[in-house]
Amino acid sequence: MPGQKGRGEGMSWVPVPGELPVDSSSLKEATKAFKMLDLGSGGMWKAYRSNPGSAGSCRVLQCNKHVDCGKLLRIVLNKIEGLFHVEHCGLHTKEVKEKPRVNSVLTVSQRHALQGTRRTGGRPAGMYAALTTMMTEEMEAEGKVPEEHKHEQGGLEGAT
């Protein structure tokens, strides 16, 4: 299946489980929000080139964490109800990509580390704020509520 044209055709699309709150009527903004869904991709999705979807009502994304991955995510805007339907199909491949794109200079882990240092500004308060932001994002991605993990004096567990 991987590497073949037309993946997703003939496969059954399954609704994504759980609540998917999106406060947008724009497909572009909804796509940005739904790219944070993990489903085994680590939140790494790219436009599916064989069938990217229509510009106004549908978007198809492919897992960008694995080499030649067959996992697809489809976001469809139901114009009558004004709601987004999110479905997935296919299976992940085993081999994890080292770089997000073929011509990338940095690996995925180097890129995350660089983004963290870029946020800090090089000062202790900036570094602490960046660590807190990173921990908040990780907790939200895991479905945890960051406010429940605060220290009494301020800050998050794991950021200090």
In this model, does residue 2 exceed pLDDT 50? no
Does some domain include residue 143? yes
Q: Are both 117 and 154 inside the same structural domain? A: yes
pLDDT recorded at residue 116 = 63
Rounded average pLDDT over 13-42: 77
Q: Are both 105 and 40 inside the same structural domain? A: no
Q: Model-level pTM?
A: 0.58
Q: Name which of 80, 105, 7 is nearest 50 in CA terms.
A: 7
Q: What percent of the chain has pLDDT over 70?
A: 70
Q: Are both 43 and 103 inside the same structural domain? A: no
One-letter identity of residue 155: G
| 2-6, 57-61, 93-97: the lowest-pLDDT one | 2-6
pLDDT recorded at residue 31 = 81
Does some domain include residue 140? yes
d(CA 6, CA 49): 10
Count the neighbouring beta carbons within 10 Å of the beta carbon of residue 66: 21
- Name the domain count of the chain: 2
Does some domain include residue 3? no
pLDDT recorded at residue 6 = 44
Q: Which domain holds residue 144?
A: 98-160
Q: Are both 85 and 36 inside the same structural domain? A: yes
Does some domain include residue 8? no
Does some domain include residue 35? yes
pLDDT recorded at residue 56 = 67
Q: Which of 89, 108, 134 is the last residue of a domain?
A: 89
Q: Are both 146 and 107 inside the same structural domain? A: yes
Does some domain include residue 51? yes
pLDDT in tens, 111-130: 776 666 666 555 656 666 77
Q: Are both 81 and 103 inside the same structural domain? A: no
Does some domain include residue 9? no
Does some domain include residue 2? no
Q: Are both 125 and 155 inside the same structural domain? A: yes
pLDDT recorded at residue 24 = 66
Question: What average pLDDT does the structure give for the chain?
Answer: 75
DSSP H helices in 41-107: none
